[in-house]
Each structure stands twice: as structure tokens, then as C-alpha cells.
């Protein structure tokens, strides 16, 4: 099988095929490769996923853009061509400024390389869309969980601590109007429950001591009044 060439008779890519005869000599035939061009351009001409065929030197034999074949354009510098010479390979590479996914396989006996390539975004567009949608859903779920946790955190920790802080300030000022019953029990954290109980005990102890001091002061005032009255009688 000869190297493909453009036939002057048909204007199509052509090869010569030579076969030895048992009696000696050769039978030589001319084979047009136009059928390959038809098979490649018919199903893939309007598709972003297309196939093209190169000879062992990288010259196009069949391509969806037939003019490139007639001009004998050489694509031997494509990375997928060099990889395809060593067997079937799949590779990402740039083709006319676009990132594409290409797969190449070498045709036995001829050395020709068949390349099937598709833009990366087309090949993985669905997967990227599903991945992006999944990430959006996960982020949304995370935001919902974070918001729910913040609400629970405020209701079970922040608000009780704020009430305890207000209660402590009132106790330090001698104001017993705030009661421990106004502190919402968290019900989840035993430490806060224990802290609230300690505040209740402290408040009760302070109130009892305050009452004892008031009684002592009243008793002292009463005794001073009795003493003054007795002194006035003596005078």
C-alpha cells in the first residue's frame, strides 16, 4: 500500500495497492479513499465531535473539512498524533486554541492514525453541570445547617449567658428584682444548668444576708432609740 496522494485523475486522496503474483510480477491497482471522506463527513460534519484520518506522516487523508484534505494539510505536530503512533491513546491537548479530548489509534499495516476528538466542555459538560449543581446543593445544605446551629447556639447558650450577665450586674447593684426563673434553661448543656443553679443559690444567699443585715440594722436602731429614751429620762 503506497503513501496516500491526490489523484490527478479524480482529485481525491488515492493509494496504489501492489500484490505479488505467484508466477512473478505484480498486480497494481488504484484505490480511491473518497469513501473514507464520505464516512467521516456524513455523520460528524455538523457535530462538535468529529473524526479525521492521517497517514503515517501526519498528512490528512479524510477530514470533515474536505478542503484541508485537498490542500494536503499536515497535522503531524498534534500531540495526539505522536501518541497515536505508539498505539491507542487518549489525551488532552489544544486544537486551534480550544482544549479538546482526543483519542487516537493506529491502523494496522498502513500506519495511518485515526483521531476522534471532542471539546473538553462538550465531553464533560454534563458532568461539570452535575458537579456544580451538587456543590450548590451542598453549600445550601451547609448554610441551612450553619443557620440552624447558630439559632440553637443563641437560644441555648448566648441568651442564657446574656440573662446571667444582666442578673449578675443587678445583684452587684443590690437589685433583686430579676429572678433566676427569667433565665431560659438550655436543657442541653449540663454546665449551664449547673451554673444557673449556682447563681440561684448565690442570689438566695445574698438575699438572706441582706435581710439579716437589715434586721441587724433595725435592731441596732431600736436599741439606740431605747438608750436615748433612757438617757433622756435620767436627765
C-alpha 113/C-alpha 64 separation (Å) is 15
pLDDT for position 45: 42
pLDDT for position 60: 93
C-alpha 118/C-alpha 120 separation (Å) is 6
Q: Which of 14-18, 74-78, 104-108, 150-154 has the lowest mean pLDDT?
A: 150-154
E strands in the chain: 5-6, 13-20, 26-32, 50-54, 60-62, 89-95, 98-106, 113-119
Q: Which of 10-19, 20-29, 131-140, 203-212 has the lowest mean pLDDT?
A: 203-212
Confidence of residue 141 (pLDDT cuts 50, 70, 90): very high
Under a CB-based contact definition with an 8 Å cutoff, are residues 7 and 32 in contact?
yes
pLDDT for position 139: 95
Q: Is 60 helix (H, G, I), strand (E, B) or coil?
A: strand
C-alpha 136/C-alpha 158 separation (Å) is 30
pLDDT for position 174: 67
Overall residue count recorded for the chain in this entry: 235
Show Cβ contacts of residue 188 under 8 Å, excluding neighbours closer than 6 positions. Answer: 156
* pLDDT for residue 184 is more than 60: no
The percentage of residues in the chain with a pLDDT greater than 90, rounded to a whole number, is 18
Taking only the tens place, the pLDDT of each residue in 152-170 is 777 777 777 777 777 777 7
Between the alpha carbon of residue 66 and those of residues 9, 14, 31, 98, 183, the distances in Å are 17, 14, 18, 21, 84
> Which of the residue ranges 144-148, 218-222, 225-229 has the most confident prediction, judged by mean pLDDT?
144-148
Amino acid at each position: 500500500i503506497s503513501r496516500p496522494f491526490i489523484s490527478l485523475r479524480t482529485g481525491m486522496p488515492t493509494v496504489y495497492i501492489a500484490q505479488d503474483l505467484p508466477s512473478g510480477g505484480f498486480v497494481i491497482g488504484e484505490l480511491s479513499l473518497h469513501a473514507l471522506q464520505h464516512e467521516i463527513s456524513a455523520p460528524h460534519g455538523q457535530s462538535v465531535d468529529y473524526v479525521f484520518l492521517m497517514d503515517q506522516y501526519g498528512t490528512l487523508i479524510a477530514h470533515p473539512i474536505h478542503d484541508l484534505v485537498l490542500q494536503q494539510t499536515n497535522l503531524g505536530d498534534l500531540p495526539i498524533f505522536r501518541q497515536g503512533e505508539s498505539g491507542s491513546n487518549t489525551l488532552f491537548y489544544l486544537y486551534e486554541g480550544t482544549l479538546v479530548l482526543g483519542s487516537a489509534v493506529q491502523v494496522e499495516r498502513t500506519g495511518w492514525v485515526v483521531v476522534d476528538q471532542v471539546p473538553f466542555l462538550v465531553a464533560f459538560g454534563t458532568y461539570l453541570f452535575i458537579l456544580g449543581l451538587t456543590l450548590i446543593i451542598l453549600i445550601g445544605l451547609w448554610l441551612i445547617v450553619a443557620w440552624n446551629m447558630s439559632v440553637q447556639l443563641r437560644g441555648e447558650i448566648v441568651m442564657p449567658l446574656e440573662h446571667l450577665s444582666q442578673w449578675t450586674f443587678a445583684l452587684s447593684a443590690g437589685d433583686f428584682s430579676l429572678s433566676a426563673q427569667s433565665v431560659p434553661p438550655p436543657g442541653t448543656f449540663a454546665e449551664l444548668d449547673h451554673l444557673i443553679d449556682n447563681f440561684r443559690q448565690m442570689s438566695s444567699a445574698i438575699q438572706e444576708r441582706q435581710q439579716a443585715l437589715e434586721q441587724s440594722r433595725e435592731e441596732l436602731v431600736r436599741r439606740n432609740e431605747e438608750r436615748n429614751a433612757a438617757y433622756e429620762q435620767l436627765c
